[in-house]
């Protein structure tokens, strides 16, 4: 008998969908609410390392994800010179094990659709354009009021509702989310034939200029600059700004730049970070994913850590027969320090770039790869 019989998951991203699938597949009744109006509103492109692919396999979606994404095993490094000279290429660590590619790019909306389809298949009840407005818990459960006026009672509420988690606020947790000092322009578009992996350009007007293939016909491209207030720019001005910054980068960037024509495909956000100290739960409400730890994308581990949270929480809830301190201690022992180490490594790499310091990037990346190569 599992520790819970019915669960509410708040948030339909990787952490929320992953937890919902694992619980429902084990026979737990799961409701998932997502404040966005549909699954296609959940992002643009994502880079998934091997440990994330291992978790997708555990959810039963790896085969389909492999068909829809774009896998590769090497990352290239290029110079910000007039021809985008290739400097060298580095084999990526296969952190999920030899049976998986080292890295795969994928469209976020397509990955979200895949996970939500799987959730529905295993019995999760999905409700969009809906969130929670009140939580009241006692020793035996949590009474929940929803934004549509309905209500329900659950053994557990899983708050997987992102960086600015409303669930976190409702259970009284104050957490400082800070900017790392970097902002990122992203654009989603067609993949030129010359792009078969991620290439990174360091230097020029941006800290990083890069791209990642996300399918046979798609990629996302990104430019990392000093964090600035870009909120007053119109969509057309945002597009012009990204195109202008990209002028310093060549090689495949020359082809990518020609496809940057649709303002609706461009977005700008700041790199943000936080790690919630243990415990991540307050009674029968627990936080996972970005609600508990948010990782700047400098080492592409944010999605993987969210999926790992879901895997560990799901397995403990199914394997244990009581939602007690022993269960929460086991969860925190397996997740808090691992997530903290990954976030700190990502922040360290960003700080080296901000300070223009020649940090030992290979050593840092090897440390992270060794950590995440072991199952969570």
Give pLDDT tens digits along the chain (376 positions).
799 999 999 999 999 999 999 999 999 999 999 999 988 765 678 999 999 999 999 999 999 999 999 999 999 999 999 999 999 999 999 999 999 999 999 999 999 999 999 999 999 999 999 999 999 999 999 999 999 999 999 999 999 999 999 999 999 999 999 999 999 999 999 999 999 999 999 999 999 999 999 999 999 999 999 999 999 999 999 999 999 999 999 999 999 999 999 999 999 999 999 999 999 999 999 999 999 999 999 899 999 999 999 999 999 999 999 999 999 999 999 999 999 999 999 999 888 888 877 777 778 888 888 888 988 8
* pLDDT value at residue 355: 83
| Pairing of the two strands 142-146 and 266-275 | unpaired
Q: Quick one: pLDDT at residue 368?
A: 87
- How large is the C-alpha radius of gyration of the chain? 21
Spell out the domain ranges in the chain: 6-40+109-177+276-373
Q: Which two tokens stand for residue 43?
A: 């992002």
Q: What is the layout of strands, in order, in the sheet containing 70-72? A: 45-49, 103-107, 70-72
Closest CA to 373 of 53, 61, 67: 53
- Count of other CB atoms within 10 angstroms of residue 134: 11
Number of alpha carbons in the 13 Å side-chain half-sphere of residue 120: 9
What is the Cα–Cα distance from 152 to 154, expressed in whole angstroms? Answer: 7
Alpha-helical runs (H) found in 108-226: 108-121, 166-170
pLDDT score recorded for residue 362: 73
Residue 43 has what pLDDT?
A: 64
For residue 342, what pLDDT is reported? Answer: 95
Task: Please give the DSSP secondary-structure letter assigned to residue 162.
Answer: -
Instruction: Report the phi/psi class of residue 147: left, alpha or beta, with left for phi > 0 and alpha for psi in -120 to 50.
Output: alpha
**Residue-by-residue DSSP string for 182-214:** EEEEEEEEPPPTT-SS-EEEEETTEEEEEEEEE
CA neighbor of 121 nearest in space, from 35, 56, 60: 60
CA 271, 266, 209, 305 dihedral sign is: positive
Residue 261 three-state SS: coil
Give the Cα separation of 256 and 131 in Å (integer). 38
pLDDT of residue 67: 97
What is the model's pTM?
0.95
pLDDT of residue 243: 97
The whole-number pLDDT of residue 291 equals 98
Burial of 358 (0-12, 13-18, 19+ CB in 10 A): exposed
What gap in Å lies between CA 357 and CA 373, rounded to an integer? 28
Sheet holding 29-34, edge to edge: 125-128, 29-34, 6-10, 156-159, 285-287, 281-282
Whether domain 6-40+109-177+276-373 has CATH 3.40.190.10: no
> Are 163 and 37 in contact, with CB atoms under 8 Å apart?
no
Instruction: Report helix angle 235-246 to 252-259, nearest 10.
Output: 170
- How large is the greatest C-alpha to C-alpha distance in the chain, in angstroms? 65
Q: What is the pLDDT of residue 42?
A: 56
Q: Determine if the peptide bond prior to 234 is cis (ω within 30°).
A: no
Residues 6 or more apart whose CB falls under 8 angstroms from that of 341 comprise 368, 371
Strand segments, DSSP code E, in the chain are 6-10, 29-34, 45-49, 70-72, 74-78, 86-91, 103-107, 125-128, 132-137, 142-146, 151-154, 156-159, 178-189, 199-203, 206-215, 218-226, 266-275, 281-282, 285-287, 293-294
Q: Is the dihedral of CA 181, 360, 298, 9 positive or negative?
A: negative
């Amino acid at each position: 008998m599992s520790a819970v019989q019915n669960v509410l998951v708040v948030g339909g991203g990787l952490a929320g969908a992953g937890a919902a699938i694992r619980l429902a597949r084990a026979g737990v009744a799961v409701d998932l609410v997502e404040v966005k109006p549909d699954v296609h509103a959940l992002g643009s492109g994502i880079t998934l390392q091997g440990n994330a692919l291992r978790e997708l396999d555990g959810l039963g979606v790896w085969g389909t994800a492999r068909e829809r994404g774009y896998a590769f095993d090497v990352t290239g490094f290029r110079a910000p010179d007039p021809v985008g000279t290739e400097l060298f290429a580095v084999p990526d660590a296969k952190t999920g094990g030899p049976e998986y590619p080292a890295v795969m790019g994928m469209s976020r909306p397509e990955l979200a659709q895949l996970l939500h389809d799987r959730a529905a298949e295993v019995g999760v009840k999905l409700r969009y354009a809906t969130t929670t407005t009140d939580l009241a818990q006692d020793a035996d459960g949590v009474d929940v009021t929803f934004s549509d006026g309905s209500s329900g009672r659950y053994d557990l509420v899983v708050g997987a509702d992102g960086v600015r988690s409303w669930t976190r606020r409702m259970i009284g947790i104050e957490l400082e989310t800070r900017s790392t000092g970097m902002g990122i322009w992203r654009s989603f578009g067609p993949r030129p034939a010359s792009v078969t992996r991620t290439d990174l350009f360091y230097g020029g007007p941006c800290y990083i200029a890069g791209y990642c293939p996300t399918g046979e016909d798609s990629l996302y491209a990104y430019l990392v600059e000093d964090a600035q207030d870009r909120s007053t720019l119109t969509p057309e001005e945002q597009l012009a700004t990204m195109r202008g910054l990209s002028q310093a980068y060549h090689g495949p960037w020359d082809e990518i730049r020609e496809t940057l024509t649709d303002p609706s495909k461009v977005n700008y956000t700041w790199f943000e970070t936080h790690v919630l100290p243990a415990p991540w739960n307050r009674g029968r409400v627990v936080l996972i994913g970005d609600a508990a730890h948010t990782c700047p994308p400098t080492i592409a581990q944010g999605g993987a850590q969210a999926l790992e949270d879901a895997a560990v929480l799901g397995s403990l809830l199914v394997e244990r027969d009581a939602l007690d301190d022993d269960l929460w201690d086991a969860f925190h022992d397996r997740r808090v320090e691992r997530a903290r180490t990954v976030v700190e490594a990502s922040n360290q790499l960003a700080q080296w770039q901000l300070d223009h310091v020649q940090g030992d990037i290979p050593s840092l990346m090897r440390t992270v790869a060794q950590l995440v190569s072991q199952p969570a």
